[in-house]
Amino acid sequence: MPAEWAPHRGTWLSWPHCEASWPGKFAPVPGIFAEMVRLLAPHEEVHINVSGPDMAADVLELLRPFALAPGRVVLHENPTNDAWCRDHGPCFVQRALDGRAEQAIVDWDYNAWGGKYPPFDLDDVIPTRIGAAYDIPVFHPGIVMEGGSLDVNGAGTLITTEACLLHPNRNPDLSREDIERCLRDYLGVRQVLWLGEGIVGDDTDGHVDDLTRFTDQQTVVTVVEDDPTDDNYKPLQENLKRLASMTDQDGRPLRVVTLPMPRPLDHEGQRLPASYANFYIANGVVLLPAYDPPRDEVARATLQELFPTRRVIPLDAVDLAWGLGAFHCVSQQWPALT
């Protein structure tokens, strides 16, 4: 599985339509997606799953003022239950065979984070539908897995969390060793690193893309909470401690860079899983969720140093976070064949 910063052919999105995911706050969400498309399309193709002609027309009308170049946005009639393409979208893998690059899709089973939000039948088949449309081979490991639960450095190391992958609502009959074997077999990794708990308010049971992300083959950024009275303080300190002793696939210590957490973000009494780790790396740009201007700038400056050839763009994610996710959660990279 290539790292997210490897060259992309494009980005996959599933257009938002499930108002129950943003109760009382759905109205601004399509506009946030449109802004993502505006920022991504100059750098790579943007492929969007839509339910049919009516939704396609709505999407095109939202994008019309941007006057994007022809061919940069491609709509696909792939109905979905929800918009979280990171978790239900295709996981692309590559290999070189006889001097020629080949690509395949890994289609994990998907159960909406342990059966929390049925129905999810349409989301579950999205990777196979995309494979059929582009004549890309599809592999079915037969275990539940979401894209947001793992992150790779593209050189053989994967990072994930015990809270999510070992949760009994995913694969109760599989041991840690069984899950590691599957990750090695289907993603080509040699080293699996385990963090502990996720952040407060994360309904995915602790996705790593709200915690810790690779930014190059040996560097990770990880979020930390400075307030000892905050519920996130202890689990994030524990994850930081684990990272200090971790090594990559070649036995080299990880370089660990910290990101702040935004101030607690609540809506109608619910703590939202707002995190600067939920950024999306694309060709030429990094989309950074923005929640809290002073801390947004600290996160932006930190990531800008780590991605000197890309522009780090803060984009208001407060309304998006009411759906319990941000830009990484709604996107899935399509690596270019290299």
**Residues annotated as part of the active site:** 329
Q: How many helices (H) and strands (E) does the chain have?
A: 11, 18
To the nearest 10 degrees (0 to 180), the angle between helices 53-63 and 29-40 is 70
Query: β-strand 280-281 against 285-290: which pairing, if any?
Result: antiparallel
> CA geometry: angle at 93 spanning 312 and 147, to 5°?
60
Other residues' Cβ atoms within 10 Å of the Cβ of residue 88: 26
Q: Are 113 and 203 in contact (CB under 8 A)?
A: yes
In angstroms, rounded to a whole number, what is the distance separating the alpha carbons of residues 193 and 49?
32
Please answer whether residues 313 and 288 qualify as being in contact, where contact means their C-beta atoms are separated by less than 8 angstroms. yes
Cα(158)–Cα(163) distance, integer angstroms: 16
CA 114 from chain center: how many Å? Answer: 18
d(C-alpha 22, C-alpha 26), whole Å: 5
| Ranges assigned E (strand) in the chain | 8-14, 45-50, 73-77, 91-97, 100-106, 138-139, 151-152, 157-161, 191-195, 212-214, 219-224, 255-260, 266-267, 270-271, 280-281, 285-290, 311-316, 331-335
181 closest CA partner among 124, 142, 137: 142
Cα–Cα distances (Å) from 297 to 62, 247, 276, in that order, read 29, 30, 11
Rounded-to-10 torsion of CA 147, 27, 116, 207: 30
